[in-house]
């Protein structure tokens, strides 16, 4: 039986959170058995990428924004080229859209595989690290590394390299891969689909806490496809808007405890990422993915935040199936891009990074030089939702628990969102005050 927690001052400083990209801290104040204040502090210095873009040509944007994140550079490139091409009135056509989707599939696979096997699964299985987990679960960790390697291979096909790829450009790609390289990759993907199917079953079998919560889901919505690049944003509250209207519906607030802005939808926190996508776009999944989820016994929409790991595994399978299909009748384009004519104006674009909605805005002059840039990454949008989740989850586990337990739960909650803190700056040291 829990005992009341009276107010007492106790501050603990724990080293930076392992298995999360970037640095941050969590402050919790407990008073009279409840959480009086909770703050996920992001204190990395602002990186000023948006200002770096000012004065640059539109041709430089894709390579520059790819440097924002080493884990999801494709997302930054695809949101950027989508924004610029929409401004220029350029529609490259079906071949380019399919190849960009293939490019994006690689990023989803490598990022999700890394997070599931090396970052999140150890939490649910009670291990401090992926290395410790590998001693008892070598086959699972090896599978994760195989899938991540395959995802990187898919990025390299069009990007020339998997980290900060340089193959994308406004109007298409600098070069199309050969038929032979595409056929070889297709065979690798086909051979790895059983790994992806097994992964759905394995993530669903993990001892995931039952932690249902109320939250608003937000994602892109495509007329026909599971969303990666699209022009409309939807929510489970009935919102359905163009990406051009993002600033009218969403706001970013500066808070004293974070160098990342806090994203709000109509004044309240919201969720972006794999669980939100799955909840809003389950009808766009391919039949084998739905079958795998059915066999695993996990149903979407779900209000259990810990089902995010199952959603990630389902998205890996979805991406594998799509990539195999796209490469089935691959024919190179020569040249692999369309020439574009710059014009002055404002362009808006969005895509679904592995961690969620990534929105870009560019104001360009008549020569295509950047006058203003704004980038809203998924982690800053999720930060208020993470704080809300921490409040609910820590209260549910019991605020009278010892500090090690509360820290472990707090880290698990944060890691479940796969936050990319460096992307958001503009865990875990835990300061607990009781």
pTM value surpassing 0.95? no
DSSP string, 169-227: ETTEES-PPPHHHHHHHHHHHHHHHHHHHHHHHHHHHS-----B----BEEEE-SSS-S
Give the C-alpha separation, 151 to 417, whole Å: 20
Return averaged pLDDT per consecutive 10 residues of the chain, 434 residues in all.
Answer: 42 40 72 81 70 95 90 94 97 95 97 94 92 95 97 96 93 97 98 98 97 96 97 97 97 78 90 98 98 97 98 98 96 95 98 97 98 93 94 91 87 86 51 64
Provide CB contacts within 8 A for 187, sequence distance 6+: none
Three-state DSSP class for 24? Answer: strand
Output the pLDDT for position 72: 87
Output the pLDDT for position 429: 52
Output the pLDDT for position 3: 43
DSSP string, 312-346: HHHHHHHHHHHHHHHHHT----SSSB------SEE
- CATH class of this structure's domain 49-381: mainly alpha
From residue 108, give the alpha-carbon distance in Å to each of 87, 278, 287, 355: 27, 14, 19, 9
Average pLDDT, the chain: 90
Percent of the chain residues past pLDDT 70, beyond the cut = 89
Nearest to 120, CA basis, from 319, 355, 333, 383: 355
Dump pLDDT digits (tens) for 105-164.
999 999 999 999 998 999 999 998 889 999 999 999 999 999 999 999 999 999 999 888
Give the C-alpha separation, 421 to 42, whole Å: 7
Dump pLDDT digits (tens) for 178-200.
999 999 999 999 999 999 999 99
What residue segments make up the domains of the chain, in order of their start?
Answer: 49-381
Provide CB contacts within 8 A for 283, sequence distance 6+: none
CB-based burial label for 346 (10 Å; 0-12, 13-18, 19+): middle
């Amino acid at each position: 039986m829990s005992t009341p927690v009276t107010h007492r001052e106790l501050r603990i400083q724990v080293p930076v959170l392992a298995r999360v990209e970037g640095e941050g801290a969590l402050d919790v104040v407990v008073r009279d058995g409840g959480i009086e204040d909770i703050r996920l502090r992001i204190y990395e210095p602002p990186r000023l990428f948006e200002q770096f873009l000012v004065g640059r040509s539109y041709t430089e944007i894709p390579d520059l924004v790819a440097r924002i994140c080493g884990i999801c550079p494709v997302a930054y490139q695809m949101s950027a080229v989508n924004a610029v091409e929409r401004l220029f009135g350029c529609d490259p056509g079906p071949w380019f859209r399919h190849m960009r989707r293939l490019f994006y599939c690689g990023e989803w696979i490598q990022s999700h595989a890394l997070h599931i096997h090396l970052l999140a699964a150890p939490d649910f299985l009670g291990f401090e690290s992926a290395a410790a987990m590998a001693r008892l679960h070598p086959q699972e960790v090896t599978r994760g590394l195989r899938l991540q390697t395959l995802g990187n291979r898919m990025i390299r096909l069009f990007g020339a390299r998997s980290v900060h790829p340089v193959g994308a450009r406004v109007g298409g790609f600098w070069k199309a891969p050969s038929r032979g390289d595409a056929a070889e990759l297709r065979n690798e993907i086909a051979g790895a689909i059983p790994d992806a199917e097994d992964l759905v079953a394995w993530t669903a079998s993990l001892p995931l806490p039952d932690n249902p919560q109320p939250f608003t889901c937000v994602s892109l919505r495509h007329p026909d496809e599971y969303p990666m690049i699209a022009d409309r944003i939807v929510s489970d509250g009935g919102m359905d808007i163009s990406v051009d209207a993002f600033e009218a519906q969403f706001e970013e607030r500066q808070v004293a405890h974070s160098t990342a802005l806090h994203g709000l939808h109509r004044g309240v926190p919201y969720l972006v990422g794999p669980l939100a996508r799955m909840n809003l776009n389950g009808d766009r999944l391919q039949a084998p993915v739905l079958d795998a989820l059915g066999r695993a016994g996990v149903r979407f929409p779900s209000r259990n935040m810990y089902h995010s790991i199952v959603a990630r595994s389902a998205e890996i399978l979805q991406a594998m199936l799509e990539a195999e299909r796209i490469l089935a009748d691959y024919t190179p384009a020569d040249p692999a891009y369309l020439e574009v004519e710059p014009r002055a104006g404002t362009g808006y674009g969005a895509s679904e990074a592995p961690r969620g909605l990534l929105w870009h805005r560019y104001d360009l002059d008549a020569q295509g030089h950047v006058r203003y840039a704004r980038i809203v990454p998924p982690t800053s949008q999720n930060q208020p939702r993470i704080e809300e989740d921490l409040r609910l989850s820590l209260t549910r586990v019991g605020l009278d628990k010892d500090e090690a337990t509360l820290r472990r739960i707090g880290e698990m909650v944060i890691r479940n969102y796969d936050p990319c803190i460096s992307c958001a700056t503009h865990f875990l040291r835990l300061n607990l005050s009781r």
